[in-house]
Amino acid sequence: MLEKPRVNRRFILRLTLDFIAATLLVIALAYDWLDNLSHEVIGTAMFLLIIGHNIFNRRWYGAIPRMRRDARSTTNLAVTVLLAATMIALLVTSLMISRSVFSVLPPSGGFTTRQIHALAGYWGLIIVSVHVGLRWSLIMATMGKLAGFSTRNPLRTAALRVIATTIAAYGLYSWRAIELWSKLTATVTMGFLDFEFAALPFFIHLASIAGLCVLAAHYASNIIRRRTHAVQSATK
């Protein structure tokens, strides 16, 4: 009888909290379907989880000086720095424009601050997805252990690739459907979302875009890893 692969429960807890934080970010982006209080409560909960994420990963920061300086590690560090900067911008602007949760603070933000807040939110979605994509192999390996998969299954692999391709294709469509580029560049367009319909389609669009970015980062990371390995092998 095969022994079930061991699973790092601490890592599973971290993944669960990170997934909840990412979900809250997606929900918070649907500001036009939420009242302001709900938006701020969701955002506050997300930031509490982000603080927890950084506490869990505090040793990573101490290891930065000893980090290898290959292409993959440098890319990971750059994405993490961008993510930290984006989250800081999101937090600072949220405090400046808060009208509910942090209403005790003196208001200090106007239209420009709100615009920066929205920019940080949408860029946060993209960078968080890339951040996840760079770790996707580890995440999938952990999920495989949790599900009890001890060997590779060609049929399962093929099915997952079909699902991934479908998500990526819909993510490309969603990018255009919600005019994401205009949101990432604060460009005014003539297109408007119909807020009379349910928010669910908007969430699906955002989730598929996140999936697209996860997959793009995952495969790009694999290409970088293989090229780095090839260069290292050639120089030995």
pLDDT in tens, 31-74: 888 889 999 999 999 999 999 988 888 888 888 888 887 888 88
pLDDT, mean over the chain = 87
Model confidence pLDDT, tens digit, residues 173-229: 999 999 999 999 988 665 555 555 568 889 999 999 999 999 999 999 999 888 877
Is residue 1, in this structure, part of any structural domain at all? no
Residue 214, domain extent: 9-235
- The answer for residues whose C-beta is within 8 angstroms of residue 32's C-beta and 6 or more apart is 193, 195
Is residue 3, in this structure, part of any structural domain at all? no
Is residue 4, in this structure, part of any structural domain at all? no
| Per-residue confidence (pLDDT) for residue 192, from 0 to 100 | 54
Is residue 87, in this structure, part of any structural domain at all? yes
For residue 214, give both structure tokens.
């996860």
- Is residue 30 over pLDDT 50? yes
At 1, is the pLDDT very low, low, confident or very high (cuts 50, 70, 90)? very low
Residue labelled with tokens 């979900």: 23
For residue 19, give both structure tokens.
């997934």
Is residue 2, in this structure, part of any structural domain at all? no
Q: How many CB atoms lie within 10 A of CB 2?
A: 7
Counted domains in the chain: 1
Please report, for residues 18, 214, 219, 230, the alpha-carbon distance to residue 132 in angstroms, rounded to integers and kept in the order given: 10, 6, 12, 25
Is residue 205, in this structure, part of any structural domain at all? yes
pTM over 0.75: yes
Please report, for residues 36, 44, 97, 186, 206, the alpha-carbon distance to residue 93 in angstroms, rounded to integers and kept in the order given: 15, 13, 6, 16, 22
Model confidence pLDDT, tens digit, residues 101-158: 888 888 777 889 999 999 999 999 999 999 999 999 888 888 888 777 767 788 988 9
